[in-house]
Amino acid sequence: MQLYKSRGFSEFFQDTFSFIKQNGKHLFKHFFIVNGFFLLILMVLGYFFTKFYSDIIFGGLLNNNTNVIDDYMNENAGLFILLLFVFLIVALIAGIISYAYVPIYLKLHNDFGDQNFGTKEIVTTYKANIGVLFIFLICSILISIPLLITAGVLGFILAITIIGILLLPLLIGAFALFYQMSLMEYIEHKKGIWECFGYAWKLITSKFWAAVGSVGLFFLMSYIIQQIMAIIPYIFGMVGLFTSIEDGMTPDAEKIGGTMMVMLLAIFFLTFIVSSILSVIVQLNQGIVFYSLKEEAENINTKSDIDLIGTSE
């Protein structure tokens, strides 16, 4: 698929799904190869946190022990802090690697063509951009402070009205697209980091409603799908729980705790995998928007076609 191509609102949707249809298997295969190790660690750590939640919270409630959290924290404070620290470090590393995957994949797709590259080229590109990713992370954190304040104020204003609530996905989409475009431009190694942030804003404002509307709707669809996927095991778990209670005179605290544990783990692992896949799709849509707006701003593909005509003559 040609990435550098002028598109409108409907084409942002159509080409995102067309790209998935043509390259989805290749895209997701290498995503899980590159990110699989970190995702596995996060899932293991998430398991322990989920187990803590189910064993301690539900165990305390079922046994009428209101001080169970305080007692557990006093006895295992060191272990809990260590696990939390490890989780934050791994989550930060995994987050930036996962976040950079789609920009790197699309860059290689544009350089090599459809599926003419593999894990080796992706990892090599990651290594070549370690410094870029680190600088982007630091600068993103710095610039996020005023942006989050602005987003918080705008979000509060929007949330107090029904129409405003419907516009919240657009606000989220605008900020997500801003960061994604900045990174995609920065890994081209043609501009400085602050220039890339400015360039990203310039592209967004060139076709604001079409670009932000597309990304916002993808975020909304992703959110709805995740909620549906999360509630399915919850419903089955609660049905099983009430069925077991109706069959016996007295609820078995250990059995109920086990049921809640299974239910929470099922919800966690299912939403984790689904959210990872949906995150790639949402970022892919942002990538399609980026290359479209960049083509309109710089006529990269048009200039390339003119050069090829000149060469053939």
- For residue 223, tell me if it sits in a domain: yes
**In this structure, is residue 3 part of a structural domain?**
no
Residue 270, pLDDT score: 77
In a domain, 83, yes or no: yes
- Is the residue at 224 inside a domain? yes
**Size (the chain), residues:** 313
CA–CA separation, 164 and 161 (whole Å): 5
Residues 56-97 have pLDDT tens digits of 555 555 555 555 556 666 666 677 777 778 778 877 888 888
**Residue 286 domain-assigned (yes or no):** yes
Please check whether residue 2 lies inside any domain of the structure.
no
Those residues with Cβ within 8 angstroms of residue 141's Cβ, 6 or more apart along the chain or in another chain: none
Q: For residue 259, is pLDDT > 70?
A: no
DSSP helix/strand/coil, 292:
helix
Burial class from Cβ neighbours inside 10 Å (0-12, 13-18, 19+) for residue 211 reads buried
Residue 249 DSSP symbol: S
- Residue 174 CB coordination number (10 Å): 20
161 belongs to a structural domain:
yes
Q: At 129, list the tokens.
A: 């951009």
Contacts of 256 (CB under 8 A, 6+ apart): 58, 62, 241, 244, 245
Backbone angles phi, psi at 63, to 5 degrees: -100, 10
Number of domains in the chain: 1
Which has the higher per-residue pLDDT, 300 or 76?
300
Task: Report angle CA 285, 286, 290 to the nearest 5 degrees.
Answer: 120
- 312 within some domain: no
Token pair for 145: 């402070």
Taking each helix axis from N to C terminus, what angle separates 68-112 and 130-159, rounded to the nearest 10 degrees?
120
> How does the average pLDDT of the chain come out, rounded?
80
**Interval 172-196: pLDDT, tens:** 889 999 999 999 999 988 889 999 9
How many CB atoms are closer than 10 A to CB 170? 18
Give the domain extent around 253. Answer: 9-303
What confidence tens digit (pLDDT) does each residue in 7-19 have? 999 999 999 999 9
Predicted TM-score (pTM) of this structure: 0.82
Half-sphere exposure of 40 (CA within 13 A, CB side): 7
Within the chain, what is the greatest distance between any pair of CA atoms? 89
For range 135-146, the mean pLDDT: 90
